[in-house]
Amino acid sequence: MAVVVTNECVACSVCVTACPFGAIEMQENKANITDACTACGACVENCPVGAIKREVEVSEVTIDKTQYKDVWVYIEVAEGKPRNVSLELLGEGRKLADAQGQSLAGVLIGENVAELANEVFVYGADSVYLIENTELAHYSTDGYTKAFSDLIESYKPCVILIGATTNGRDLGPRIACRVGTGLTADCTGLGIDEASGLVAWTRPAFGGNIMATILCPEHRPQMGTVRPSVFKRPVPDFARTGEVIRVASTVKAEDIRTKLYGIVQVIGSSCNLEEAEIIVSGGRGLGKVENFCLVEELAEVLGGSVGASRAAVDAGWKPAIHQVGQTGKTVGPRVYFACGISGAIQHLAGMSSSEVVIAVNKDPDAPIFKMADYGIVGDVTEVLPILTGAFKKLKGIA
């Protein structure tokens, strides 16, 4: 928030005009800043006599950062195996750990998950912190937050990477608040800041129009959630082994304020975009909602998932859970079909990690063709039935 140095204010009212939020008013021939101030700084920049200053809040940080070391990756388990994003983050965590001369550890929480430790080692971890408890058999905010927070307090990691899944986006900020540190959410890039040696977390801001790089200089651990499929899964090294550090769980039934009565599968495989090897996405070029069945038919024949552009979602043709792009899901399948999608920069950012891109669009100058490995110029409603029929014939489907 800005403050007015009253004995320097000349009541020129320039700040009143300059404030885009109407947060400044004149009282007794002096400028007065109200609670509507958003600290945008417009008044500071426009005051001709420099009578408005930025109010700087100074907080004393007493943390001993030298006690914190090593990089941790939270290994999220789904249906008895690690999620792809956790394995992807082991690859990036390995790079960060090597750059800082530290070790890489995976964090496994659950019930009967010890056998997954070997897979964590194969993808780059030096050690695994293992917490097993019947109360942790299924994810709960309370149980996993307590287990993870207690682990941090005991072993003090320097960096923690968490996949930006539904559970990861729930767990990450709760842990950060519990241990008193910051968290950079929904990251699409990781690196090391050369000047400070801190982790440089990169994420989209202002609706994806700019990319912000964020540092956490005064608190530990440095934490962030990272979008699935932004990074490639590292090449497994089956000769790798490591140390399993078993940690006794302190979580009790009374610590968990929710009770699980059952699990209902409401989202089928056609919507599991982060894990899909083949994705068929439709966009505004389909013309109308009824034509989306052409995308769904091709995806079904190929055993793939159904995606959609933001335009298709905004039009109500598909739920937001199917959206691919900067404001949707980031994907990295082996094959990505872009059907009737022009290729806005926000959409390209969400599927640029795809190994092979096949585009179908009637506009030969559509931006999607610049990224596509294969392109078909034509009406998507005419091309898709032909492709579906050809794949059916190849697979021997009547």
Residue 191, annotated ligand binder?
A: no
Ligand-binding annotation for 327, yes or no, is yes
Is 326 marked as binding a ligand?
yes
The answer on whether 100 is annotated among ligand-binding residues is no
Task: Tell me 323's DSSP state.
Answer: B
Q: Is 341 annotated as a binding residue?
A: yes
Among 272, 273, 191, which residue's Cα sits nearest to residue 224? 191
Residue 347 labeled ligand binder: yes
- CA distance to 11, 13, 44, 80, 379, per residue, from 48 (Å): 11, 10, 9, 65, 60
Q: Find the angle CA(120)-CA(123)-CA(126) to the nearest 5 degrees.
A: 65
149 annotated ligand binder: no
Residues 223, 199: Cα–Cα separation, whole Å: 9
> Which residues partner with 104 through β-bridges?
71
* Rounded distance between C-alpha atoms, residue 161 and residue 19, angstroms: 40
In the block, which residue shows the tokens 């980031």? 330
Question: Considering only CA atoms, which of 214, 195, 196, 194 is closest in space to residue 204?
Answer: 214
Give the C-alpha separation, 153 to 365, whole Å. Answer: 56
Annotated binding residue at 102? Answer: no
- Is the distance from CB of 322 to CB of 306 less than 8 angstroms? yes
Q: Is 361 annotated as a binding residue?
A: yes
Q: Binding site annotation covers 210?
A: no
324 is in an annotated binding site: yes
Q: Is 284 annotated as a binding residue?
A: yes
Total residue length of the chain: 398
Q: Is 352 annotated as a binding residue?
A: no
Question: Known binder of ligand: residue 321?
Answer: no
Report the alpha-carbon distance of residue 367 to residue 398 in Å, rounded: 36
d(CA 365, CA 382): 19
Structure-block tokens of residue 174:
């709760």
SS3 197: coil
Through-space distance between the first and last CA atoms of the chain, rounded to whole angstroms:
68
Using DSSP's 3-state secondary structure scheme, residue 128 falls into strand
Comparing C-alpha atoms, which of 153, 103, 147, 105 is closest to residue 129? 105
> What is the C-alpha separation between 216 and 68, in angstroms, rounded?
13
- Looking at residue 35, the DSSP 8-state letter turns out to be T
DSSP 67: G
Residue 344 marked in a binding site: yes
CB atoms within 10 A of CB 156: 18
93 is in an annotated binding site: no
Residues placed in the known binding site: 284, 309-310, 323-327, 340-347, 361
State the binding site for FAD: 284, 309-310, 323-327, 340-347, 361
